[in-house]
């Protein structure tokens, strides 16, 4: 697995020479309150970052002393939380080597709805997302028009940060009465099932609404 730090948009990015760059959207000409501008400017940058990773992995597969001949480039996918989820979708819309995408409670840009997604897609949303009708409408359109297998699962009792380690830092950061570690276990279970199925061809009943699992709520297409 490869994890990315998107320079100036991550909490901190440390370069090999020791330089450290902290979160600063003003480097992109974005004010902290200008969310719409952030999507417009950052999505192409994050998309380019991820495509660079795909290209680098392909290069390593050919001639890296450690990884050469050891990487399976036919079984690659992307997943991300929040804006990272929108980026994962964007990658699979333009990068042939991206075979499947996962959005963890991430919004979808209007441009991403202009044509059906053609790669398998898993959307896991928080229960708090029902307070965002515009986002719900976009997710509904994304899933209902998909031209490939698409799943929408809601994580009960969760909020936006339940898909991250943030709630593990303090009980005060988790939704009341929710076991944050158990919640992350549910996220991990469905992530693995999705990628096992669509990247490894490993069948699983988990991705069927009739599986009888009660740890998620299914949204139908």
Do 43 and 144 belong together in one domain? no
Question: Number of folded domains in the chain?
Answer: 2
Determine the average pLDDT of the residues in 99-120: 93
Determine the average pLDDT of the residues in 113-127: 94
Do 211 and 183 belong together in one domain? yes
Lowest mean pLDDT among 117-121, 194-198, 213-217: 213-217
Instruction: Give me the pLDDT at residue 29, please.
Output: 83
C-alpha to C-alpha distance for 159 and 165, rounded to whole angstroms: 12
Do 83 and 186 belong together in one domain? yes
Do 96 and 64 belong together in one domain? no
Is the distance from CB of 195 to CB of 100 less than 8 angstroms? yes
**Domain containing residue 31:** 1-71
Determine the average pLDDT of the residues in 195-201: 96
Percent of the chain with pLDDT strictly greater than 90: 63
Determine the average pLDDT of the residues in 16-42: 82
Binning pLDDT at 50, 70 and 90, where does residue 35 land?
low
* End position of a domain, from candidates 71, 90, 115: 71
Q: What is the pTM of this model?
A: 0.91
Average pLDDT, the chain: 91
C-alpha to C-alpha distance for 23 and 83, rounded to whole angstroms: 15
Instruction: Give me the pLDDT at residue 154, please.
Output: 95
* End position of a domain, from candidates 12, 41, 71: 71
Q: Is the pLDDT of residue 124 over 90?
A: yes
Q: Dump the DSSP string for 87-126.
A: HHHHHHHH-TT---EEEES----GGGGSS---S-EEEEEE
Instruction: Give me the pLDDT at residue 4, please.
Output: 85
Do 92 and 153 belong together in one domain? yes
For 53-80, write each residue's pLDDT tens digit.
999 999 999 988 998 989 898 999 999 9
Q: Is the pLDDT of residue 203 over 80?
A: yes
């Amino acid at each position: 697995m490869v994890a990315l730090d998107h320079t100036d948009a991550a909490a901190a990015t440390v370069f090999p020479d020791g330089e450290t760059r902290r979160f600063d959207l003003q480097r992109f000409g974005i004010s902290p309150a200008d969310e719409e501008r952030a999507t417009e400017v950052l999505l192409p940058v994050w998309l380019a970052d991820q495509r660079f990773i795909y290209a680098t992995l392909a290069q390593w597969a050919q001639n890296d002393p450690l990884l050469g001949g050891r990487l399976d480039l036919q079984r690659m996918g992307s997943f991300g939380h929040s804006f990272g989820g929108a980026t994962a979708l964007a990658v699979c819309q333009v990068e042939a080597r991206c075979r499947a995408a996962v959005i963890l409670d991430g919004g979808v840009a209007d441009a991403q709805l202009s044509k059906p997604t053609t790669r398998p897609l898993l959307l896991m949303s928080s229960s708090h997302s029902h307070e965002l009708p515009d986002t719900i409408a976009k997710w509904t359109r994304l899933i209902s028009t998909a031209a490939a297998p698409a799943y929408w699962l809601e994580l009960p009792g969760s909020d936006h940060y339940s898909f991250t380690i943030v709630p593990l830092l303090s009980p005060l950061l988790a939704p009341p009465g929710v076991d944050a570690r158990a919640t992350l276990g549910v996220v991990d279970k469905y992530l693995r099932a999705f990628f096992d199925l669509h990247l490894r061809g490993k069948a699983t009943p988990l991705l069927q609404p009739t599986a009888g699992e009660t740890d998620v709520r299914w949204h139908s297409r």
